[in-house]
Chains A and B, each alone.
Chain A
Amino acid sequence: MRILCPYCGERDAHEFSIRGEAPMTRPVVIGVPMAEAVAALHDRRNPPGRTREFWYHGAGCRSWLLVDRDLRTHEVFGATLASGAF
C-alpha cells in the first residue's frame, strides 16, 4: 500500500503509522462524563469500506494526515494535512 503524502509525495505505507478512524468533528473530552470522554478518544467503529483515518508520516515530514481509503481493498483515494482540519 502506498500513501500520497501532500508534502512528500507517494510513499510506502511502512513510513507511516495509523491512528485509526478520524472523527468528523473534534472530540469533546472536557466537561463530559469520563465514559463519554474515553469513548470519544478511543472507540473506533472500524467500518468496512471507504473510511477517513488519521495516519502519521513519522519517517517523512512528521505530519498528521487524513487519509481517505477503502478498508476492504486498501485502495487509497487521497490524503490531506490534518492540521487545520478541525
Chain B
Amino acid sequence: MSDGWTRPAPAFPAFPPRPGLAVEEIVGRSIVTVVARAGQEAALRAVVETALGVLLPEGPRRVAGQEIAFIGIGPGKWLAIGLPVAALAPLADVAAIVDQSGAYGVLSLTGAGARRLLGRAVAIDLDDAAFGAGSVATTIIEHVGVTLVRTAATPPAYELYVVRSYARSLAHWLHETMG
C-alpha cells in the first residue's frame, strides 16, 4: 500500500440483509489505541486539539473531526479511528500510541432493526434519551467483550468493535439472533 501499512483481512462472514437491518463489516479501517501517560491527560488533550482539531471526549463518547474520530474506552484511554498510526506521532510524548487495526473486527449495524437486535445483546439502556448519537459503551455480548458506538440517530446506526479472534463467535450469535 502506498501509505505504508497493510490492511487487515475481513474478520466476519457475510450477513444477509434483513428488513430494516443491514449488518456489514467495515474493512481496512485504521484503529489506534491512545492512552495518556501518567499525569499527561491535560497535555494530551491540548496536543490533540492543536494537531488534529478534535476535543477529546471526557467519558464514553465518540467525537469526530475532519479525518479522525476518538472513542472513549476508559479513563485516559481512547480508540483513534481513521488516520494511520504515523499521523498520531505528535501525540507520542504524552500518550502511548499503538496500532490495533489488525486486532479488531468492526461491524456497522444500520436501520430500525438495529436497536431491536442490540437490545437483545447488551444489558444497557439503548433508548434515544440514554444512548443517542455519539454514545459509546464498552460491555459484553454473550460473554464477548465489545465496544458499541452509536454513530447516527436517524436511521439508527451503530458500530461494534470486537477483538478479532472473537469475531466468529459474535457472528454466530448475530446469525442466530437475527433469525
Contact = CB atoms under 8 A, between A and B. Distances in A.
Interface in B85-112: none
B124 interface: yes
Given A11-B123, A12-B123, A61 B139 contact: no
Contact of B75 (A15, A59, A83): A83
B124 A7 contact: no
A60 interface: yes
Contacts of B139: 8, 11, 15, 59-60
B140 A7 contact: no
Interface residues of B, number: 13
A9 B124 contact: yes
Contacts, number: 36
Interface residues of A, number: 13
Given A59-B145, A61-B60, A8 B75 contact: no
B74 A61 contact: yes
Contact of B74 (A9, A11, A12, A62): A62
Interface of A: 7-9, 11-12, 15, 59-63, 81, 83
Interface of B: 59-60, 73-75, 77, 123-124, 137-140, 145
Given A59-B140, A60-B74, A62-B74, 16 more contacts: A7-B74, A7-B75, A8-B137, A9-B60, A9-B137, A11-B124, A11-B139, A15-B139, A15-B140, A59-B138, A59-B145, A61-B138, A62-B77, A63-B74, A63-B75, A83-B75
